[in-house]
Structure formats: C-alpha cells, structure tokens
Amino acid sequence: MCDTCGCNITPGNEVLAHRHHEGHDHTAVEVLSSLLDANDHQAVHNRAHFRSHGVLAVNLMSSPGAGKTALLEATIDALGREFRIGVIEGDLETENDAARIRARGVPAVQISTGTACHLDAHMVHEAVHALDLDALDIVFIENVGNLVCPASFDLGQHRNVTLLSVTEGADKPAKYPVMFRASDLVLLTKCDLLELLDDFDPAAALAALRALASEAPLLHTAARRAPALAGWLDWLRTVAAGLRADTPAPQPAVAE
C-alpha cells in the first residue's frame, strides 16, 4: 500500500479512516493497520454471505488489458445455460465493462474506485447487496487492473484467479510475486496470438510461477477469435461443485 496512488483510502473505507482520525493521535501505520483489520472483518462477512446463498465468488486479477472482461464475456456465452452468473466490475472510472457484461443479459454492478487502484471488502459488500444472490450460482469480481495492490485485500472471495497475457513478459510472476502467490489459478490469456509472438515462452512463465512455490495450475486460454476455454470451464465446474457439496442445505422454516 502506498501514499501516492490513492490506495490507502477507498470509497469503501473512507468513513472508517475519518473515524480513526477524529479525536485520536493515530500514526499513519496505526490507521492503515486499523483499515486492513476492518477490511478483513468485512471480508469474512462477505464470504459467509456468499456461502449462505450457495454462491461461488471468484476474484479476477490482472494487469490492465490482460483480457478479464473478454474472458467473462466468453465464459458467460459458454456457461450461461449451466450457471446463473453475476458480475461485480471494478474500475477507477466509467461503466464500460459493466455495460459489456449487461449486454450479455447478465446482471453487473459497477464500482468506481476513483483514485483507488483496487477493490476492498467494503466496496464489494455494497455491490453484493445490489445483486439477487438467490438468483445466482457464481459471482465474478473483476478487480481493478493492477498487479500489485489487489493481492493485499481479501474481498470475501472463495478463489483468486490471475490472468497473464501472452502480450506481457513471461517473467511477470517473478516480478509480482505477491499477486501470483495469492492465486489459486493462473490463466494464460490470448494464447491464439502465441504463433505471432516469438518472445513469450509459456514454459518460462510456468517455471517463474513454480519458483514461487506455487502449485496453482496454469491454463492456456483464448477468449476472442478462437475461443479455447475448456480447462477454465472445467475448473469452474469443479470448484462450484465443491462449494455446493460444502454448503449446508437451508433449513425449513418452523411454524410458530
């Protein structure tokens, strides 16, 4: 977390930040520690809320332009009859990505973070209450494009998925270890361009990931010209089935 990019204070926690300052001589470190503690507490609540509705929450992270929204569009097209999908979109400004998702007939809530370069659990909490979780099976949270700060904030998701585009360097896992260590799955995106790019080595990307002691699968995908999503779709099915098996059945109401 830094003092220049605006990620210390977000639209979700600014009330808490002001509360910590009022009438107290807090140092910046104490305030940030309090904000992170509050974020983690809210994340636990979010996760319990998702679980109580049997909804799988997946946090998508990547650098800008790695293909998160294109992946979601292709995923909706592929799984729209199999799963009821909702999306929470995070960007500094505009509703462009949410509009793209809604055009697919899927509910999407846009979060505009202003100067904050990541989502936090408080922002997600507000967005969740704009969705009908009883009508959904999976909620994708498309985080702000950034390979640094999003990895430090628990949103209440069940799984973290990081996208690595073949138009980026294969050494990204080595350069941004916190993000890739936090990943339950890494998706190599835009793989239909590999034949045009002789400077990206998928084996080197995998080696950089394994050098972090990460066992996260690295799957090849292509979402646009020649959709290739089988591994990703199967992973989602497996994780969703595991969540359903682990979610207690709702108890029938007892007449009083």
**Beta carbons of 139 and 56 less than 8 angstroms apart:** yes
| 66 token code pair | 């790695």
Indicate the pLDDT class of residue 254, thresholds 50, 70 and 90: very low
Task: Return the minimum-mean-pLDDT range out of 125-134, 154-163, 222-231.
Answer: 222-231
Domain contains 126: yes
- Which CATH number characterizes residue 119's domain? 3.40.50.300
Residue 254 lies in a domain: no
Q: Is residue 95's pLDDT more than 60?
A: yes
Interacting residues of 119 by C-beta distance below 8 A, sequence separation 6+: 10, 12, 88, 90, 111, 113, 141, 143, 144, 150, 153, 155
How many Å separate Cα 65 from the centre of its chain? 15
Report whether pLDDT(252) > 50: no
Which of the four pLDDT bands, split at 50, 70 and 90, describes residue 191?
very high
Does 67 have pLDDT greater than 50?
Answer: yes
Confidence of residue 227 (pLDDT cuts 50, 70, 90): confident
State yes or no: pLDDT of 74 exceeds 60.
yes
Q: Is residue 255 in a domain?
A: no
Number of domains in the chain: 1
pLDDT of residue 46: 97
- Does 22 score more than 70 pLDDT? no
State the pLDDT confidence band at 256, using cuts at 50, 70 and 90.
Answer: very low
Q: Quote the domain boundaries for residue 108.
A: 14-246
> What's the pTM?
0.85
Sign of the alpha-carbon dihedral angle for 224, 227, 231, 232 = positive
* CA-derived radius of gyration, the chain: 19
For residue 5, tell me if it sits in a domain.
Answer: no
* 253 in a structural domain: no
Poorest-pLDDT segment among 30-44, 159-173, 188-202, 210-224: 30-44
